[in-house]
Structure 1
Amino acid sequence: MNFQIGDIYSGFKLVDKKTVEEVNSLALIFQHEATGAKLLKLENEDDNKVFSISFRTPPHDSTGVAHILEHSVLCGSRKFPSKEPFVELIKGSLNTFLNAMTFADKTMYPVASKNKKDFFNLMDVYLDAVLYPNIYKYPQIFMQEGWHHDLESPEGEITYKGVVYNEMKGAFSSPESILMRKIPESLFPDTTYGVESGGDPDHIPELTYENFINFHKKYYHPSNSYTFLYGDGDTLEELSFIHDNYLKDFKKIDVNSSIAIQKSFGNMVENVVEYPISQNEGEEDKTFLSLNFVVGKATDEELYLAFEILEHLLLETSAAPLKKALIQSGIGKDVFGSFDNSVLQPTLSIIVKNSNEQKKDEFKNLVFTTLKELVDKGIDKKLIQSSLNIKEFYLREADYGGYPKGLIYGIKCMDSWLYDHHPLMHLSYEPQLKKIKERAEKGYFEELINEYLLKSDHSSLLIVKPKKGLAEEKDRNTKEELKAYKEGLSKDELKEILDETEELVKRQNTPDSQENIEKIPLLSIEDISRETEKLPIEVLDEGGIKVLKHDIFTNKIAYVDLYFNTENVPQELIPYIGLLSGVLGKVSTEKHDYEDLSKEVNINTGGIYYSATAYSNSVNVDEFTPMLKVKSKALVSKLGDLFKLLLEEIRSSKFDDSRRIKEILSELKSRMEMTIFDRGHMIAVGRVASYYSAVGAYLERVSGINLYHFVVDLEENFESKKTEIESNLNKLCKLIFNKENVTISVTLEEEDYKEFKKELPILVKGFGDNAFEKASYNFDLKPENEGLMTSGKVQYNAKGYNFKKLGYKYTGTMQVLKTIVSFDYLWNKVRVQGGAYGCFGGFNRNGNMYFVSYRDPHLKNTLNVYDKTFEYIENFTEDERGMTKYIIGTVSDVDSPLTPSMKGDKASANYFSGVKYEDIQREREEILDTKVNDIKKLAPIAKDCMKEQYICVLGNEDRIKEEKDMFNNLIHIFK
């Protein structure tokens, strides 16, 4: 339709209209006449439609009110009064994205779906949730999602309980998380950015129900809202739906949600923060040093983009001059940067990890000396070109790792829209990019460094240092405070808390009425295609090399992945495969030193990445194919350059630079530590699988805790092991990078394949041609049942086994069971009642199954819940509507949208695992045809797998020691 500026459509006045070529969209900007609500629609041909409603929600304290409200409004509303419509949608919609997000100054509620009917259903539930939530009727929602005093008997111990409370206890267990949360506090002490919008566990219990309600009353109004729509949906129909069902019932009000500007300090301020470590850990080399600078405003579109490029240039590659100077100085063992431009006053942080407090002046001086040298002497032109190229490649590729493009665009719009500027400012990046390119080699980035860093009058030095016993001290203080609080209660006050706890538990244990459940809109099975998407794959032979061709539109980008079978690597060298994947591309080659190599890669490609992985055999549970995967991408026109660089890295990398290898080991160790904190649930799942699964045992050695301890040992004993390291890495390169054991996967359009074929000999002629001889692997599989102890305040509890080893077969029905168990039984028992942030199960084709919890205050209780899962499955009952819901939710997961690169990856993975299209189609039919009895028949699998008693818990040292009898081994992860 030809929309006209100034015209009104279903109460929305069109105020601007613009083609945004960068995102291939027509942008329509509306304002709702009656309420002042803002709305942006990006019209395009993308069938993955996105809706989001956001509110400007600047908190004034660290009680986490914005975060708790984000959780709570999704726990029932006027039209959809079931306790958790959000979970019902996860169970039973075709959503391609469904979540909510709390930022420092805004709260967003985005959904996405390819199905029109489903898309409108999702909009309906979310709009009703934010505008008419049941938080006013049921204080128990606040208690459950936020915090409450938990007391189950008069003589019992009173505790704090709540989902967000435990989530943030987990977040404040990671030193990196503490650092990133304290940076804005150091720079913005007088504005909303100086408080913790997610909630500081020390302050969350200060939030009252009254203040919680008032926050919603103040900010959750259409007059303070920003609605974003994206995709191929009918804009008129969408506007009509929003107006007729919601906005027509509201009038415009004044909402004071303005965000103040923090005045500059003049001088740099210095803050010191402590983080907890275990009693057994040493405090040396565990301090974080961070220099932080305020950089203009997010509404300066050129500066916004330029500093993204500058941060990459200074800190994100092997050639990054500031990173190199800091690493080589020995001030710390890892260096990384952060540019946060999702706030009104963006910040650049320069961070050194594994340092010491006494090095703070040396750190500060070296940063400023290095920056001044860059300004005085000029930045290497090739380095500038490489960072510009990689940023431009990223912008044009628009591959956001499985997240809907529309969602990312919507978030980017908010970076200007929220601050009363044009919402398209950061999507229309071409003019800014052109200016930056034109000025880049004329001192542009040097000027930015000088003005915003060297001459900054708004900066901080933040020191985050370890303290033994801090977690225990806080726990002890909390217990004493609660004990004193309880002792100070009158009989009536004590009874009130007991009654409130009982009322909450009663609400949690009472199923929703069928009437309320049925108010949540649901598709029918007929809305789902019975045909699974056929991922394109053609197996070809190109000069003796096996090529997997995936004919997919990629906008002239070629995704080329090399899969090297590593079965010829001796068992004792398996951990070195994990190390090799972390070293390649970061060391010098015969042709380039590592800095020049990094520049060449970023100038000519979209990146080259290495990973050690393995593919399970879909039939034989004991068989798997280990691989070293080399993932790369480039413009089709640059394939020749890509192949030359690939060959250079895999065939002529030099491992004799001891200093460089030591630096890489330190960085690997640091990054793995971050992963252990951030993805503790997957660490625990991988670890427990290594007890009963050969592929699990292998993956632990190339990417799990085993590899972490291997890297720690090499770093600590580097001088005595450096010759061995060099020798083994050279040996692996000769073993692995050969014609005999390589398969190449290429994802591009058919018309571009000829270019790939033409350039391929450049690559192939450089491969070795050693004979491929399989090694013999013998992993000692047994129930290690480890308690992996950290100073963290929460647990990640995993339990599992391989059901194929017990004689069971994999079926698609198990994926429906996964949905049911994860979002009904485990959700209610572990999250709702137990207070964990999350809990879910998995049933894999190779037979490995597991249950795992995330940021869980409990340990034994959760494992007991897992053991009783079979009883829930045995007694499972559901009507036809309920089964339809679970089936649709399962299909939503199975049909997650894939980028071109991801389609190529998935097709290749299926090929290596022996999974055929017919298998995937049969699984889909089993999913769609699942009945209640099919689910009940799976109860013995859960029962028998849990009876095997394979567990792994990653979490709080004291809590694990309290349950030490459950474990065969207690291990301190960090030293």
Structure 2
Amino acid sequence: MAHSYSLSVDETLHGFTVESAQTLEEIDGNAYTLRHAKSKAKLLYLQNDDENKAFSIAFKTPPADSTGVFHILEHSVLCGSRKFPVKEPFVNLIKSSMQTFLNAMTFADKTMYPVASTNEQDLLNLMDVYMDAVLHPAIYEKRAIFEQEGWHYEIDGVDEPLKYNGVVYNEMKGALSDPDSVLYNALSAALFPDTAYAYESGGDPAVIPELTYEAFLDEHARHYRLDNSYIVLYGDMDIDRVLAFLDERYLNEEQPPAGEPNPLSPQAPVTNLGVIKKMETAPENACMGLGYVVGSSTDRLRVIATDILADVLLGSNEAPLKKALLKADIADDVDGYLIDAQLQPALFVMTKGSKPNTAEAFRQTVEDAARTIVAEGFDRERIEASMARAEFILRERDFGTADGVVLAMSAMAGWLYDDSMATDYIRFEDAFAELRERAAQGYFEDLLREIVLENDHKALAIVEPVETLDESCEEARLAAIKADMDEADIAAIMDEVARLRALQEEPDSPEALATLPLLTPDDIAEAPAEPAWERIDSTPLPCLYHEVPTRGIDYVFAYFDMNRLAFDDLPYATLLAMLLGKLDTSDHSAEELDKLTQTHLGSLRFFVDVYTSEEDPRTISPKFVIATSALSENIEHAVSLTCEIKNSTDFNDPDKIRDILTQTRIRMEQGYTTSGNSSALLRCSSYVSKTALLREQLSGVDFYRFLKGLLADFDASFDAVVERLVDVAARIFALDGTIVSFTGTPDDRDRFWELAGTLGLSPVENTVRLTVPEPHVKNEAFIVPADVCFAAKGYNAQLLDIPYEGSWQVAAKALSYDYLWNEVRVKGGAYGAGFRALRQGSMQFYSYRDPNLDETIARFDGAASWLATFDPDETEMRGYIISSVAGMDAPVKPRNMARRQDGDYFCDRPSGYREKTREQLLATEPADLRAHGEELARVTERDVRCAFGNRGIIEGSKADYDIVDLLG
């Protein structure tokens, strides 16, 4: 039920006074700023009809060093509080609430705690736990929380090495294995040496152990105060009820005195052009960056303009500055973006795969390109294209998560620095109108000149790969620390770790668990109605039509059959998807295409996907997909540009193709280092599943090796590659087997088909039929330049005749947020771990940024016996069911709804399968989970596993792995 309560300026409600009220077209609603008289807490209420309501509380937290104290606090305050004295209320909420978003984030100068839910009572419950957590955390009584989430020593015996462990410590070892992150930090420190932005807010693993428990508590006391807080409410809610809740429960408390928060001051202009940061990483990870301070966050128009400027200059290979840098052969790839949401926003230009001794050439090329553009003027079409694309994204509001959470983060980009700017970074309509007017008057040329050519606040930083950093080697530091210890010191560490383990293993008491606010089955609403969809055969091509409200946007997915390809053709299909839209066609240059697509389309993507029939798992359907989105009035461009690119792309451009291939190689290599769990899961699946083996050929390690081979022999094989691409494209873009998915109004659908016809497709004579080889188990461990590991283990349940039921979703929730959370994250120190059971049989465990490998696999192996004896009480079981149902019922954006329903069609899922799964989920009993434990034992007994990660951890494993130096 929509609430229509409106607020008036100067109105007082539950201790809050309304300071401003405005209509906000950007959210289809209103915005109110309020201040609580007693606590001085600031509140922004974004009122609209969105049922996915949200709450966030944030604190200004500029760090004074790189110990990561605010990151550790972000984790730690969610480990129990005065009102909710359980070990992990954060996890309890994930297991028991209807949340659609639940997390916390540490930024360079603030810490945010946002939650979202479609249920108002649930949102109040989440608010209750989060407010008590941030204001009254258990950290003051339980030092073990600091040790668990931050850092502590560990040692297994007098003759064993001393180690560090801790969740944030290991998370940041993984995060700072990424050269881009190291470069970002170096550049930020060079630009802002005298401010909070000089420090790594997440924590530098070399510095984290310098943080003391006393300093940790002091930082909380000085910063987690209501007069240093920013509260955001969003969506359709009873605002009177919510404000009363905040006022009565938390905002009328007396706050103990504390010192002042850390200052957040602007940096006086500095020029630092020779910063070198050495890093233990592969030579090909050399990178460098230029940073230019743009001005102040309070100049919203200039900040938006700089964001557009970054896209104009560097948004694609055809953008003028990126094109100049690639032509200069300074690096393998170049990227650029605006760093906003900080006191002084900055423009960063970053390279990947930098060539040796090119820093000066890099700076000179950037400045020369800027001078040329300032003198000759920007291409007006490119500026208009970038603005059109930016506006489309903002209007579409498809942020990949709850709108209220994203809007709360947007609000903080201005509000943190100026109390009058609570909505400035949410509003954009007026700014775009003004920028269009100013563009014709040379505004962007002036902006480029001021930022790049006339700026005395800039920096250049270089990340220089080295084999080892002896002076800061963690093992050496720990060895030196241990050398100063006697046996009593070592025994004390072992006793302390034992105490920590005992606390981690001790279950929460029933009395403590009873304090948590819980929903009841009556709070579960009816399942949201599935939007209607149908297959229409009266159109020129078969059409999957989806009736979903889209705010005037049309979504088109054209699916082309790839069963006409041989197995060794498949990498060329991925290669085709990488190249289409980025090369010249018979009618337009690549640069012209780039501008046309940004101007007239919301998106244009080419990718490959794979579907497996649930009726017959032997039937696998790989698809080549062309995905477009456009405003209703631009649907003709979705047709014309798609057909032009599909039919007349010219592949005879070796320089551009080499650049695109190299950029893809770099992205894949960085993905192995930063999120190797995804690659480990796919690779592990490919040992037993033909579907996964096919995906490996299209996008996994097998494709990466194919890509490296192409680049190694590029010049000699180029003509053959082009010939193969043309042949593969001809077999993909055929009339037979093509299906188009359309989402939009019926009138738009009819207009689309009038324009599209058969998309210029013809039948193709072809005798090749795809045959996927039989998979076999390899149990590989891939060495990549990371300080941590990513492990996966699992099997396909269908091969063991284990049926999929909705109760597996409850089992996955229990395994992920009870057993694995405690065993792999809390005890093992990994940043994350989980278990997934998919409809088509895949059952897999994984870990993320993990300091262990053998220990983690052993914990995976113990999961089955844990589940086989799992005996939750009625309240705990109800929570698992409610949270699992919430996952099924979460709101879905139109684009994703269309893709989900398309997947249902291609996978032959039976009508009503979601309803049946939901019914099974709701009917789950503890005995069902215990029975799954016995089935899970059959999965883990197969001993199918894969890992990506650190050389030392992998080579030190006692398990039998086929070890591969992936990037070597």
Q: For this structure pair, what is the TM-score category when the shorter chain's length is used for normalisation? A: over 0.9
- The alignment partner of 1:938 has SS state of helix
2:694/2:772 contact within 8 Å kept: no
Q: How many residues align?
A: 962
Q: Indicate yes or no: 2:847 matched with 1:847.
A: no
User: Partners in 2 of 1:115 and 1:751 — Cα distance?
Assistant: 35
Q: Indicate yes or no: 2:42 matched with 1:38.
A: yes
Q: Indicate yes or no: 2:619 matched with 1:623.
A: yes
2:177/2:674 contact within 8 Å kept: no
User: Partners in 1 of 2:339 and 2:527 — Cα distance?
Assistant: 43
Partner residue in 2 for 1:416: 414
Q: Which amino acid aligns with 2:679?
A: I
Q: Which amino acid aligns with 1:720?
A: A
Match of 1:120 among 121, 124, 130: 124
Q: Name the CA shift for 1:636/1:542 in 2 (closer, same or farther; >3 Å).
A: farther
Q: Indicate yes or no: 2:325 matched with 1:332.
A: no
Partner residue in 2 for 1:306: 305
User: Partners in 2 of 1:50 and 1:530 — Cα distance?
Assistant: 21
2:639/2:752 contact within 8 Å kept: no
Query: 1:255: Cα distance to partner?
Result: 4.1
Q: Which amino acid aligns with 2:836?
A: G
Partner residue in 2 for 1:686: 682
Q: Which amino acid aligns with 1:670?
A: I
User: Partners in 2 of 1:719 and 1:217 — Cα distance?
Assistant: 63
Partner residue in 2 for 1:945: 939
What pairs with 1:228-243 in structure 2 (closer than 5 Å)? 228-243=232-247
Q: Which amino acid aligns with 2:964?
A: I
Query: 1:689: Cα distance to partner?
Result: 0.7
Match of 2:564 among 568, 581, 585: 568
Q: Indicate yes or no: 2:291 matched with 1:260.
A: no
Greater Cα shift, 612-621 or 306-315:
612-621
What pairs with 1:307-322 in structure 2 (closer than 5 Å)? 307-322=306-321
What pairs with 1:701-712 in structure 2 (closer than 5 Å)? 701-712=697-708
What pairs with 1:916-955 in structure 2 (closer than 5 Å)? 916-955=910-949
- The alignment partner of 1:560 has SS state of strand
Q: Which amino acid aligns with 1:74?
A: L
Greater Cα shift, 376-385 or 189-198:
376-385
1:223/1:252 contact within 8 Å kept: no
Partner residue in 1 for 2:493: 497
Query: 1:742: Cα distance to partner?
Result: 1.2
Query: 1:532: Cα distance to partner?
Result: 5.6
Deviations 1:610-664 (A, max 9, x none): 1111012223333321011111101111111110000011111111111111111
Q: Name the CA shift for 1:296/1:207 in 2 (closer, same or farther; >3 Å).
A: same
Partner residue in 1 for 2:753: 757
Deviations 1:405-463 (A, max 9, x none): 11111111101110024211122222211110011132111110001111110111111
2:555/2:895 contact within 8 Å kept: yes
Q: Which amino acid aligns with 1:352?
A: T
Match of 2:90 among 75, 80, 86: 86
Q: Which amino acid aligns with 2:594?
A: S
Q: Indicate yes or no: 2:275 matched with 1:271.
A: yes
Instruction: Give the CA RMSD over aligned residues.
Output: 1.6
Partner residue in 1 for 2:901: 907
User: Partners in 1 of 2:21 and 2:247 — Cα distance?
Assistant: 20
- The alignment partner of 2:358 has SS state of helix
What pairs with 1:15-94 in structure 2 (closer than 5 Å)? 15-94=19-98
Q: Indicate yes or no: 2:236 matched with 1:227.
A: no
1:565/1:625 contact within 8 Å kept: yes
Deviations 1:540-564 (A, max 9, x none): 0244411111111111110111111
Q: Name the CA shift for 1:309/1:119 in 2 (closer, same or farther; >3 Å).
A: same
- In structure 1, list runs of 5 or more residues that go unmatched: none
Query: 1:603: Cα distance to partner?
Result: 1.1
Match of 2:404 among 383, 403, 406: 406
Query: 1:155: Cα distance to partner?
Result: 4.9
User: Partners in 2 of 1:601 and 1:207 — Cα distance?
Assistant: 50
Q: Which amino acid aligns with 1:389?
A: A
Deviations 1:71-118 (A, max 9, x none): 000000011111000000111110000000000000000000001111
Greater Cα shift, 60-69 or 621-630:
621-630
User: Partners in 2 of 1:138 and 1:411 — Cα distance?
Assistant: 31
Q: Indicate yes or no: 2:351 matched with 1:352.
A: yes
Q: Name the CA shift for 1:598/1:492 in 2 (closer, same or farther; >3 Å).
A: same
Partner residue in 1 for 2:820: 826
Query: 1:32: Cα distance to partner?
Result: 0.7
- In structure 2, list runs of 5 or more residues that go unmatched: none
Partner residue in 2 for 1:603: 599
Query: 1:758: Cα distance to partner?
Result: 2.8
2:289/2:460 contact within 8 Å kept: yes
User: Partners in 1 of 2:895 and 2:421 — Cα distance?
Assistant: 33
2:190/2:272 contact within 8 Å kept: no
- The alignment partner of 1:464 has SS state of strand
Deviations 1:37-61 (A, max 9, x none): 1001011100100100000001100
User: Partners in 2 of 1:596 and 1:86 — Cα distance?
Assistant: 50
Partner residue in 2 for 1:729: 725
User: Partners in 1 of 2:636 and 2:666 — Cα distance?
Assistant: 35
Partner residue in 1 for 2:810: 816
Q: Name the CA shift for 1:287/1:494 in 2 (closer, same or farther; >3 Å).
A: closer
User: Partners in 1 of 2:592 and 2:762 — Cα distance?
Assistant: 25
1:647/1:766 contact within 8 Å kept: yes
Query: 1:800: Cα distance to partner?
Result: 0.9
1:552/1:900 contact within 8 Å kept: yes
User: Partners in 2 of 1:917 and 1:305 — Cα distance?
Assistant: 47
User: Partners in 1 of 2:471 and 2:126 — Cα distance?
Assistant: 42
User: Partners in 1 of 2:710 and 2:486 — Cα distance?
Assistant: 60
Q: Which amino acid aligns with 2:408?
A: G
User: Partners in 2 of 1:198 and 1:330 — Cα distance?
Assistant: 34
1:532/1:921 contact within 8 Å kept: no
Query: 1:492: Cα distance to partner?
Result: 5.1
User: Partners in 2 of 1:197 and 1:257 — Cα distance?
Assistant: 13
Q: Name the CA shift for 1:774/1:636 in 2 (closer, same or farther; >3 Å).
A: farther
1:741/1:772 contact within 8 Å kept: no
Partner residue in 2 for 1:166: 170
Partner residue in 1 for 2:541: 545
Match of 2:107 among 103, 109, 119: 103
Deviations 1:466-492 (A, max 9, x none): 11234xx478x3233323323323555
2:673/2:949 contact within 8 Å kept: no
1:357/1:465 contact within 8 Å kept: no
TM-score by length of 2: 0.97
User: Partners in 2 of 1:417 and 1:901 — Cα distance?
Assistant: 31
Deviations 1:322-364 (A, max 9, x none): 0111112211111111211111111111112112231111111
User: Partners in 1 of 2:967 and 2:490 — Cα distance?
Assistant: 42
Deviations 1:685-734 (A, max 9, x none): 01111111001001111111111111111111101110111011111111
What pairs with 1:439-450 in structure 2 (closer than 5 Å)? 439-450=438-449
1:532/1:924 contact within 8 Å kept: no
What pairs with 1:396-545 in structure 2 (closer than 5 Å)? 396-401=395-400, 403-420=401-418, 421-470=420-469, 473=470, 477-490=473-486, 493-529=489-525, 531=527, 533-545=529-541
1:508/1:828 contact within 8 Å kept: yes
1:34/1:251 contact within 8 Å kept: no
User: Partners in 2 of 1:530 and 1:7 — Cα distance?
Assistant: 37
TM-score by length of 1: 0.97
- The alignment partner of 1:269 has SS state of strand
User: Partners in 2 of 1:364 and 1:557 — Cα distance?
Assistant: 41
Q: Which amino acid aligns with 2:614?
A: S
User: Partners in 2 of 1:202 and 1:628 — Cα distance?
Assistant: 46
User: Partners in 1 of 2:959 and 2:8 — Cα distance?
Assistant: 72
